[in-house]
Amino acid sequence: MDIKREEMKIKNICCIGAGFVGGPTMAVIALKCPEIKINVVDINQDKIDSWNGDLTNLPVFEPGLAEIIGEVRNQNLFFSTKIDKAIEEAEMIFMAVNTPTKTSGEGKGYAADLTFIEKCAENIASVSKSDKIIIEKSTLPVRTAERIKEILDLNNDLHINFEVLSNPEFLAEGTAINDLFKSDRVLIGGADTKSGNDAVKHLVEIYSRWIPRDKILTTNVWSSELSKLVSNAMLAQRISSINSISAICEKTGAKVDEVALAVGMDKRIGPNFLKSSIGFGGSCFKKDILNLVYISKFYGLDQVAEYWENVVRINNYQTKRFGEKIIKALNSDLKTKTISILGWAFKKDTNDSRESASISLVKNLLLNGAKIKIYDPMVPERLIINDLENKFYEDGINRQDIIRFLSEVIICEDPYTAIKNSNLVSLCTEWDEFKVIDWEKAYSIMCSPQWVFDGRNLINKAHLEKLGFQTFIIGQP
């Protein structure tokens, strides 16, 4: 017998996960929907304390975010560790928890680890006393919604209706707030049933408060989940493509920035994501491509898997060859050399260093005996050290050697302290302040040989060489 249900009204939203996705997304929804109470919850007390603390020290740095948090926090946006209470109150629940790549078991190194998602679903089912709309906000493999629904129904003793939607985020770190305000598109995938369509309608109504309706795309759940992976894979593919061309440019005398400009003027191609660098980073690109590789292999599409895996290989190759050129420039003798690393975040205007090329670069330089001085304007010392420790552990380095390597690392509070007494400066992140470094001053405080390695095409080669520097700019002869 069909159970007649009252039409749901969205008065309370719960977001499980207070990270790079959950915090900014919920802040903007709170700003645009002041009548809806939003609880962002997380098991990490320190993170929640940071969200509730000083606006200049939020756990996520994004231009414009602090101002929004200051306006809506404790008005209709709340940060808490009271997860069960927030779930019980909410009609709509966003799942924005971490989905790292598996480090063991089936799919190790490729598939997404859904442990946190599954625990999240189990908790929602056990706590809920009324119908809920569950929204996948984390980046997930295709058909994860099906698994979430199975868990919800299996742990549901009260005949509660759970509708699972896919609503992937397409935020670029560093421009996340602008991306949320003026999205290229909002993608919502749901089941083609009455209750599924009703759930989609509720989420569409929220986004319609500030996003034009023609930019809100509704699909089935599977198309939505796959679209997120494919979007990131194709963006990463463009970066790997131009990075592969940068290697050719260095051999032939062409300049990669000029090649990219000429190619990007073709309207069929466009200029975006054609900026050569020492390699892409961030939480999504590598993880999502490897997820796509795993899915392809799972369905027996080995050629497809190989194609996408090569995008990651080119990225790793770019970082590796940059480091090899540094070692060669210093005559393969790094034991008496100090190298300055300017930039630890994987891109400017974010404090996120996940999968940053700087991590692998510094690890390899330390293994070759270098002393390292690091400066980044937003990434704290504890995170830099943690990144290096994790990288060494990942590569099987024992604890005693890790301690020895880290003793050769100094974290600095400004670029000139990092540059002082070094033999080589490596520009790894395109922070604006690195574009205005006083290179004459830098030359005077460095030790011979004075090298600048530019992994972001920031410097004026002729100017620096006139000052006496030896230079290498990625993608230039």
Query: Residue with structure tokens 């629904």?
Result: 149
Q: Report the C-alpha gap between 276 and 256 in whole angstroms.
A: 7
Give the list of residues 6+ apart from residue 176 with CB closer than 8 angstroms, or none.
20, 24, 62, 65
* Among 37, 132, 228, 347, the one annotated catalytic: 228
Which structure tokens are listed for 247? 């290697």
Give the list of residues 6+ apart from residue 459 with CB closer than 8 angstroms, or none.
427, 439, 452, 471, 473
14 flagged as catalytic? no
Q: Report the C-alpha gap between 227 and 406 in whole angstroms.
A: 41
Q: Report the C-alpha gap between 203 and 13 in whole angstroms.
A: 11
169 flagged as catalytic? yes
Closest CA relative to residue 21, chosen from 164, 136, 169: 169
228 flagged as catalytic? yes
* Among 62, 169, 173, 430, the one annotated catalytic: 169
Residue 441, Cβ density class (10 Å: 0-12 exposed, 13-18 middle, ≥19 buried): exposed
Full DSSP string of 185-234:
-EEEE--SSHHHHHHHHHHHHHHTTTS-GGGEEEE-HHHHHHHHHHHHHH
* Among 284, 363, 373, 430, the one annotated catalytic: 284
CA atoms within 13 A on the CB side of 70: 8
Q: Report the C-alpha gap between 50 and 250 in whole angstroms.
A: 45
Question: CA dihedral defined by 45, 47, 48, 49, rounded to 10 degrees?
Answer: 80
**27 neighbors 65 (Cβ within 8 angstroms):** yes
Active site members: 169, 228, 284
